[in-house]
Amino acid sequence: MITIGDAISTLQAEANTQKAAEMAAYHKAPRPYFGVANPVIDAAVKTWRAEVSLDERLTLASDLWDTNIHEARVAAAKLLVQARIKPDDAAWALITSWVPQFDGWAIADHVCSAGSRRLIANPTRIDEVETWTTSDHMWTKRAALVMTLPWTKMNNPKPADLEARERILGWAADYTNDPAWFIQKSVSWWLRELGRHDAARVWTFLDAHGDKMKPSLRKDASRNLPPR
């Protein structure tokens, strides 16, 4: 079993004071930083995952998150990035409990990567994600699009996937009315990825809603589109 003390010691052994200061200045979220690079965290997580049961992994992830250390929270999310987790209700519950605590894109995106696997495993969870789209907490609202990015990357979507895609595009359409940069950026990200697989649908979206997007983000959304 890997204890939280063991895990923190492993991360702290790779600490870099200068890098930690740079990360704190860059991310601006008020928490401790060790200055540890993502590949180092990846290696640690790979080792931990091989040595613990699912229940122990969930406990370790929860404990890492609760330290509020940047690298520990990243590691917590990475521990749950896995296509197959059975049963996965506890993993999904833990992931969603973290969403209201988001305060920056970096940790949020790692958690959303874990959450997206759980959504693909059980698409009915989109019902819960949809409730985030009206949240007053910007990062929760943003997470609804970031966590559903897998629906932009399907080459041969099934009818249920196309239905989900249209549902999410409806959220994105509402988001274009929100002036917050990170919210509109989530829209442009979603459209940019979808443009690789369904350019016509992205053009239709931009024709209907693009005039409400910030010009730079509309341009970003159309990056992967062929000219008309």
Residue 29 and residue 66 in one domain = yes
pLDDT band at 227 (very low <50, low <70, confident <90, very high): confident
Residue 105 and residue 48 in one domain = no
Give the CATH number for residue 94.
Answer: 1.25.10.90
pLDDT at residue 182 in the model: 98
228 pLDDT exceeds 90?
A: no
For residue 170, the one-letter residue type is: G
Residue 70 and residue 112 in one domain = no
Among residues 44, 79, 114, which one ends one of the domains?
A: 79
Q: CA 84, CA 175: separation in Å to the nearest integer? A: 31
Pair of tokens at residue 94: 């833990």
Residues present in the chain in total: 228
Mean pLDDT to the nearest integer, 68-95: 97
For residue 202, the one-letter residue type is: V
**What is the total count of domains within the chain?**
2
Mean pLDDT to the nearest integer, 20-35: 97
Among residues 48, 79, 110, which one ends one of the domains?
A: 79
pLDDT in tens, 101-119: 999 999 999 999 999 999 9
Among residues 79, 101, 125, which one ends one of the domains?
A: 79
Residue 68 and residue 28 in one domain = yes
218 pLDDT exceeds 90?
A: yes
For residue 147, the one-letter residue type is: M
